[in-house]
Amino acid sequence: MDDREGQSSGMGILFLVVFIDLVGFTLVIPFLTYFVQDLASLQGFTEASNRDVWVGIVLAAYTFGQFLFTPILGSLSDRVGRRPIIMFGLLSNTVFFIAFGLATSLWFALLVRFLAGAGNGNIAVARAYIGDVSTPAQLKGRMGMIGAAFGLGFTIGPFLGGVLSDPYTNFGGVFATEWWQSHPYFLPCLFAGLLSAISCLLAVRMLPESLPEGSRVVSTENPVRQMIRNLVGVRDLSPSVRTLINVNAIFLVAFTIMHTTFILFTAMPVVDGGLGYEEIDNGYIFFFVGLVGVFVQGGFMRSKLAQRLDSRKMMMVGILVCGLGIGWIPYLKPDPFVLVLIPMAFIALGNGLFQPTQNTLLTLEARNSSLDLGRVMGAQEGYGALARIIGPIVGAFVWAETIDNAGKMDYHTVFRLSCLLAFIAFLAQIRLKLTAKVEGEI
């Protein structure tokens, strides 16, 4: 068995590590909005328009940390290997998930979320890991496998986050104490931290290194300067790589605007136009979204049919389908519940088509242009993090400015904006000129 085949054996462990990591990460989805609203109310932000802005700010704090440090971690993985960077990210998750559950003020929550984002560059490094051990023909299926880990994480994580929230009220028994009453979201955060610790132990014991020492890039450049070079230096990359990174960033702005305001919409009282849902209801919704993601990325994307379909066309279809689902959201009614799941299926399907095909094309274009894969993935994740900063803040502020409005500029506006940006991402891809082609595609 050659080196590539030996390194490929680590894909199963990488899948498990990413899956457990994503379960822990997505545990916070159903309750984070409610948690931040509670913290904001305790500090005097009682009006919905003022209180809900903090949801976007706390979400952006995590991605601001990623924006600053993921390019550094991506480039560092080119120098020291992928394995130690992945383990560092898992250890960071363990510490800061637990700390977040103990937050009693907005400022502490902001700090912890920033540090959690700063320490975790695992997704970019995991994609670089796949690039290290995969042939061009294997890339689409293996990127889809990591997407399936996302899907499984989004299936199980939010469901557990909803179920484990507020154990004082929901479980009683050993949780029927004043401490658990004052820390209703600590249990899911503790569980998330423990999962990341388990994932870290698995990586230590079983995850092989994918980047041989002879293939590593040695750099003595200052890390801050390196981060700036990775971001500003995108202009020095090939045109196709730049376009792919830009399309991904625009798509992520659209997606994160929706992601920030979706639970604000579902939690809004029915009489105000919302759905009146609680944490567990949102947990069920994201459970369904995860199932669709698993089917698309873990099943369809690994099929022979998907391997033959044109990656660029699949990416474009994914953007349009996802945008349609986002634009549908504000017109939903709380009942019947099954109708709420239809646009969410569109979003999960579109995202499931977009992410692995975009990453496949980016990897192939980077290779074809003889670019360092860690640098390219780090730059993509850096710009992606920037998009995930802009999205939550824009979404929260547009929501806050329109939630009390009547007429056309009401709470529908933020979802219309998100849908429009998805269409812009679609248009940006039309002029994409690829230099590499996946063997076997038609």
Q: The dihedral of CA 407, 411, 412, 413: what is its sign? A: positive
Burial of 111 (0-12, 13-18, 19+ CB in 10 A): middle
User: What is the per-residue pLDDT across 181-200, written as a single tens digit (0 to 9) for each?
Assistant: 999 999 999 998 998 898 88
What's the confidence (pLDDT) of residue 154? 72
User: What is the per-residue pLDDT across 110-151, written as a single tens digit (0 to 9) for each?
Assistant: 999 999 888 877 777 887 888 787 777 777 677 767 767 776
Tell whether 7 is covered by a domain. Answer: yes
Tell whether 104 is covered by a domain. Answer: yes
Give the range with max mean pLDDT: 77-81, 145-149, 267-271. Answer: 267-271
Helix axes 11-26, 122-133, angle to 10 degrees: 160
Residues 170 and 90: their CA atoms lie apart, in Å, by: 30
Tell whether 363 is covered by a domain. Answer: yes
Tell whether 111 is covered by a domain. Answer: yes
Give the range with max mean pLDDT: 96-110, 126-140, 282-296, 392-406. Answer: 96-110
Helix axes 136-164, 186-206, angle to 10 degrees: 150
Distances (CA, A) of 288 to 155, 337, 352: 6, 12, 13
CATH number (domain holding residue 256): 1.20.1250.20
Distances (CA, A) of 355 to 279, 296, 298, 330, 363: 27, 11, 12, 25, 12
Distances (CA, A) of 84 to 23, 79, 121, 200: 21, 11, 11, 10
- Size of the chain, expressed as the number of residues it contains: 442
Q: Can you give the pTM of this predicted structure?
A: 0.76
224 has pLDDT over 70 = no
Residues 251 and 350: their CA atoms lie apart, in Å, by: 11
Tell whether 241 is covered by a domain. Answer: yes
Mean pLDDT for 46-71 is: 81
Tell whether 440 is covered by a domain. Answer: no
Look up residue 120 and give its DSSP letter: -
Tell whether 107 is covered by a domain. Answer: yes
Distances (CA, A) of 62 to 42, 69, 96: 22, 11, 11
> Looking at the 3D structure of the chain, how many domains does it have?
1
What b-and-e string marks burial along 335-358, b requiring 16 or more CB atoms within 10 Å of the CB? eeeeebbebbbbbbbbbbbbbbbb
- 29 near 282, Cβ under 8 Å? yes
Tell whether 441 is covered by a domain. Answer: no
Retrieve residue 142's tokens. 């293996």
Residues 134 and 433: their CA atoms lie apart, in Å, by: 23
Q: How far is CA 244 from the centre of its chain?
A: 17
- In terms of residue numbers, what domain contains 81? 3-211+223-430
Task: Tell me the pLDDT band of 210, cut-offs 50, 70 and 90.
Answer: confident
